[in-house]
């Protein structure tokens, strides 16, 4: 009984589908859609959905954001807490630097300018964070 309550809190369930027909599976899906407590959605995003567009600058910005979080410059969006993990911050900066090196000659002028600016700013913040730690 206690285990069932724990499973409900997690938001997922396990079911044995051996020996079941496709009709049974379709019925389960309809029940999940009608259940307001079920967070699972079978609605597929459309291919033109702007939230699905990922480009090089977005990739770089994700590493930059992670680096800023690890330097304690911005709070972690998941927890709202400010934390410092300078080795991980440096690793993210190094990844951006590596990507810039490996993509040299293949970036647009705008992408090249953005990545150089981001790297400059991250390195300056990193130096400040290291000095603040001592």
In 35-85, which ranges are continuous DSSP H helix? 56-70
Could you please report the per-residue DSSP string of 76-95?
-TTT------HHHHHHHHHH
C-alpha 70/C-alpha 66 separation (Å) is 6
pLDDT at 38: 44
- High-pLDDT (> 70) share of the chain, %: 59
Give the pLDDT mean for 65-82: 92
**Is pLDDT above 60 for 25?**
no
Tokens linked to 61: 């910005």
C-alpha 96/C-alpha 22 separation (Å) is 47
Domains of the chain, residue spans: 2-34, 50-133
**Is pLDDT above 80 for 88?**
yes
């Amino acid at each position: 009984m206690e285990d069932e309550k724990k499973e409900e809190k997690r938001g997922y369930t396990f079911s044995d589908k051996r020996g079941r027909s496709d009709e049974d599976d379709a019925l389960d899906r309809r029940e999940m859609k009608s259940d307001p407590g079920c967070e699972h959605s079978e609605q597929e995003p459309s291919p033109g959905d702007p939230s699905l567009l990922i480009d090089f600058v977005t990739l770089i910005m994700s590493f930059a954001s992670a680096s800023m979080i690890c330097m304690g410059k911005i709070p972690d969006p998941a927890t709202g807490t400010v934390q410092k993990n300078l080795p991980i911050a440096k690793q993210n900066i190094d990844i951006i630097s590596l990507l810039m090196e490996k993509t040299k000659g293949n970036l647009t002028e705008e992408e090249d300018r953005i990545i150089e600016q981001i790297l400059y700013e991250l390195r300056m913040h990193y130096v400040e964070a290291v000095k603040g730690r001592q």
